[in-house]
Amino acid sequence: MKLVKIASHNNAAIALIRTGYVNEVYALCRMIDEACEDIHFVERPHGKDGKPSDDQVKFIIEFFQEEFSGKDLVQSQNPRDRVSRKRIRAANARVLADPVKPNPSREVEVIGALYGAFSGFVHGAYVHLMESFNGQFFHTRGMLGTPRIQECLANQVHHTYRSLQIVEGIGYRAYREDVVHRALDAGIALARQTKCVKAEAIDMMMERRALPLVKPT
């Protein structure tokens, strides 16, 4: 379900870039990042003996929870017991940390900084709103013809690339070789065309593409 959300947001971002709505694209980027974090958080068990952690169980329960339990929208709104974004990031950092030089706290700081930067476009922070001001007026009908479009395109490339990595990871977990290969093919083509990652990363993707996906018996 989160992959559906990511795919829709990326398609919406493309449509918005074509019409010049840069700030709205960045708001979608924040939503893409959050969905990617959520998938990382639940794609493998974090508890003991290969079992989900308490936070993972809480996350899944809250995900499926109905917002309202009756006809009265005020009285029947259900309280939500969410896992904090900070705890999700900390758990992801421990799992995804570099095995050679693990530094989970640094990973959390970097992710948090990026999340905060894009959050300003969601909440309408002053410094983010001022990015639509050209010195004479505010752009409220898109920013076509401004340098912001190329900046936005360059950023969206990286979000699309990361989205494809998420798809690849879910393909492995679901033992869907076709999904893994399609994600890798798209990621390799995107990386070659845009140079969004180093050549070593492309070589690693090609190596993964050559390996068969074996489902355990």
Name the maximum alpha-carbon separation found in the chain.
Answer: 66
Percentage of the chain beyond pLDDT 70 is: 94
Position 97 pLDDT exceeds 70: no
pLDDT of residue 100 exceeding 70, the answer is no
Determine, yes or no, domain membership for 74: no
Residue 14: give the domain boundaries.
2-64+80-210
Number of domains in the chain: 1
pLDDT digits (tens, 9 = 90+) for 8-20: 999 999 999 999 9
In a domain, 69, yes or no: no
Q: Has residue 75 been placed in a domain? A: no
Tens digits of residue pLDDT in 43-59: 999 999 999 999 999 99
Q: Please provide the DSSP assignment of the chain as one string.
A: -HHHHHHHHHHHHHHHHHTT-HHHHHHHHHHHHHHHHHHHHHSS--SGGG---HHHHHHHHHHH--SBSSS-TTTTBPP--PPPHHHHHHHHHHHHS-SSS--HHHHHHHHHHHHHHHHHHHHT-HHHHGGGB-SS-B--S--TTSTHHHHHHHHHHHHHHHHHHHHHHHHHHTT-HHHHHHHHHHHHHHHHHH--S-HHHHHHHHHHHHS--PPP-
pLDDT at residue number 78? 85
Q: What is the mean pLDDT of residues 191-196?
A: 96
Q: Provide the β-strand partners of residue 133.
A: 138
Question: Is residue 131 situated within a structural domain?
Answer: yes
Question: For residues 159 and 183, is the Cβ–Cβ distance under 8 A?
Answer: no
- The percent of residues above 90 in pLDDT, for the chain, comes to 76
Identify whether 84 is part of a domain.
Answer: yes
* pLDDT tens-digit map of 152-161: 999 999 999 9
Given a cut of 80, whether residue 101 has pLDDT beyond it is: no
pLDDT of residue 112: 78
Find where tokens 């449509």 sit.
15
Q: What is the pTM of this model?
A: 0.88
Which residues have C-beta within 8 Å of that of residue 20, sequence separation ≥ 6? 139, 141, 142, 143, 144, 145, 146, 149
The answer to the question of residue 72 being in a domain is no
Q: Domain for residue 88, yes or no?
A: yes
The pLDDT, as a whole number, for residue 180 is 96
In a domain, 215, yes or no: no
pLDDT tier at 209, thresholds 50, 70, 90: very high
